[in-house]
Amino acid sequence: MTGVNEFEQRAAELIEAGRRLYQLGLVPATSGNFSARLTDGRIAITVSGSHKGRLTFDDIMIIDAAGRSLDDRRSSAETGLHLQIYHRFRDAGAVLHPHSVNATLLSRGRRDHLVLTDYELLKAFPGVNTHECAVTVPVFANCQDIPALAAEVDDWMERHEGPVHGYLIGGHGFYTWGATVEDALRHVEAFEFLFDCELRAGGRQRL
């Protein structure tokens, strides 16, 4: 059984995550949304429309594993994308969706996936022990029909062999997750670094 304290602890972590990601420029305006799963399966998640750099406890609500509000408030419009991740990955305890310029520019290109290879920082992801590996990051077309988008993401993950640590949505930032909020933050920092490298290297390669 989950007490009030566990919710408050996760909520405090999401508030702090927002403050950090805003300082890094990754959640401008009211973009982005965050969540953390409690041990009983319920989910603490940011409410719709709040500024992620200045979250308060009032901006974190609670939903059940099916996404139903447990406190009469409206959760993020993209709640379904969080649920897809929690359903598929039993060990996912937190999901973060930042919205950076780098992710936006990379994802607006024509490609349907990105392959990251030969970066030492790939070792920030679980199970990666060497830069000599290839981490695939799928890119999905942006879509306001969240159930359809969640199904497309889930279908890709079903078909894809090998681990996946995050994905891009066209013109819309990226999703990543981890066992804890701290783990998910580490994955955000790693992806943002790698996207920055890819974008800047790509710009030069096209010359």
* 61 closest CA partner among 21, 81, 33, 31: 33
Query: What would you measure as the largest C-alpha separation in the chain, in angstroms?
Result: 58
Question: Applying CB under 8 A, what is the total number of residues that bind its own copies?
Answer: 41
Assign residue 102 a region (left: φ > 0; alpha: ψ between -120 and 50; beta: otherwise).
alpha
Between 138 and 173, whose beta carbon lies closer to its own copies?
A: 173
119 binds its own copies (CB under 8 A): yes
Q: Looking at residues 20 to 39 of the shown chain, list those that interact with its own copies (rule: CB under 8 A).
A: 28-31
**DSSP string for 48-78:** TT--GGG--GGGEEEE-TT--BSSSPPBPTT
Tell me the two tokens of residue 162. 């090998």
190 binds its own copies (CB under 8 A): yes
105 binds its own copies (CB under 8 A): yes
Between 143 and 157, whose beta carbon lies closer to its own copies?
A: 143
Contact present, 32 and 55 (Cβ < 8 Å): no
Q: Looking at residues 46 to 65 of the shown chain, list those that interact with its own copies (rule: CB under 8 A).
A: 51
9 binds its own copies (CB under 8 A): no
* 126 closest CA partner among 163, 85, 77: 163
Enumerate the H helices of the chain as residue ranges.
4-23, 79-88, 101-107, 146-159, 181-206
Between 35 and 107, whose beta carbon lies closer to its own copies?
A: 107
Q: Which of 1, 68, 129, 161 touches its own copies by CB under 8 A?
A: 129
Q: Which residues bind its own copies (CB under 8 A)?
A: 28-31, 51, 99, 101, 104-105, 108, 118-121, 124, 129-132, 142, 144, 169-173, 182, 186-187, 189-190, 192-193, 196-197, 200-201, 203-204, 206-207
